[in-house]
Amino acid sequence: MKIAIYGKKVADIYIANIQFLFNEFKRKNITASIDANFHAYLQQKNISFDENIELFNDSNDLGKVDYLISIGGDGTFLETIVLVKDSNIPVLGINTGRLGFLSNVKTDEIAEAIDALINQEYDIDERSMLSIEADNFDFGASNYALNEITLHRTDSSTMITVHTYLDDEFLNSYWADGLIISTPTGSTAYSLSCNGPILLPDSENMIITPIAPHNLNVRPLVINDEKVLKIQIDARSENYVVALDSRSFSLPLDATLKITKTPHTIKLIRLKEHTFLKTLRSKLMWGIDKRN
């Protein structure tokens, strides 16, 4: 079995856990391929590796791997989708960050997680994603997002006007700081902080959530993810920002956007006892009031 490892800087308290992970790989004859930058960082932390370890720089170097493990928080996990693309490589997230909706395997569950991979005793959640195109701007090959696509103003003193159309029918003009178009996965992220609803991962919808709208009667809207969303922007500035999860682009005002669901999904590995509802209760501290 071959497992790819992607990560970034982690707090020192997790270094021993990462060493344990590589020790388990060696003990169980698992071949590891690790992101070159993360490997260099871990070498500085005196992590020891098996002599047969492989390195990769991007998705082209990954080769044939059975799984990809993300070490970090949800932001690190989101970066792995650029590596995985449409390869259908299942991704497991070990949480060394904060909230951990996507990277939901705790460091004290590493041994259990490795055994689950070896024995194929896990569940797969197929998470939908959103893609974006513009008539006069090239987002490149990684023009998709797992959590959300967000439109932001560049000038902090003025709003932008976001004209939206569903399947070519006019929906609304949002006067706001921006607009979030979220997947069900992203419903617990930025959209939630702007009063958007929480969706179950398999709900086959997307959410349109305005950011600080000028009209108080404008509220988040849940739509079927088969819809084609077209967007045009008006603003006093010359540009606006489009963010695909954590990747940002500056676009001219005359760019017309088209947002659709991607034909491929991301396969998220979930340990048997980790259900979405359990994660929801744990991360959002539902039931912490003893009266519940």
Residues involved in catalysis? 74
Tell the burial category of 114 from Cβ atoms under 10 Å away from its Cβ (0-12, 13-18, 19+): buried
Half-sphere CA count of 287, side-chain side, radius 13 A: 7
SS3 290: coil
Distance CA 212, CA 192 (A): 13
Answer whether 228's CB lies under 8 Å from 167's CB: yes
Torsion-angle region of 167 (φ positive above 0: left; ψ -120 to 50: alpha; else: beta): left
SS3 60: helix
What does DSSP assign to residue 212?
A: S
The pair of three-digit structure tokens given for residue 273, joined into one six-digit string: 């006892």
Distance CA 35, CA 52 (A): 14
Place of tokens 């996990």: 77
CA dihedral (89, 279, 19, 3) in degrees, to 10, reads -10
Tell the burial category of 291 from Cβ atoms under 10 Å away from its Cβ (0-12, 13-18, 19+): exposed
Closest CA to 274 of 96, 101, 128, 82: 101
Give the angle 271-277-281 at the CA atoms, nearest 5°.
Answer: 110
| Residue 141 identity (one-letter amino acid) | A
How would you classify the pairing of strands 91-95 and 67-72?
A: parallel
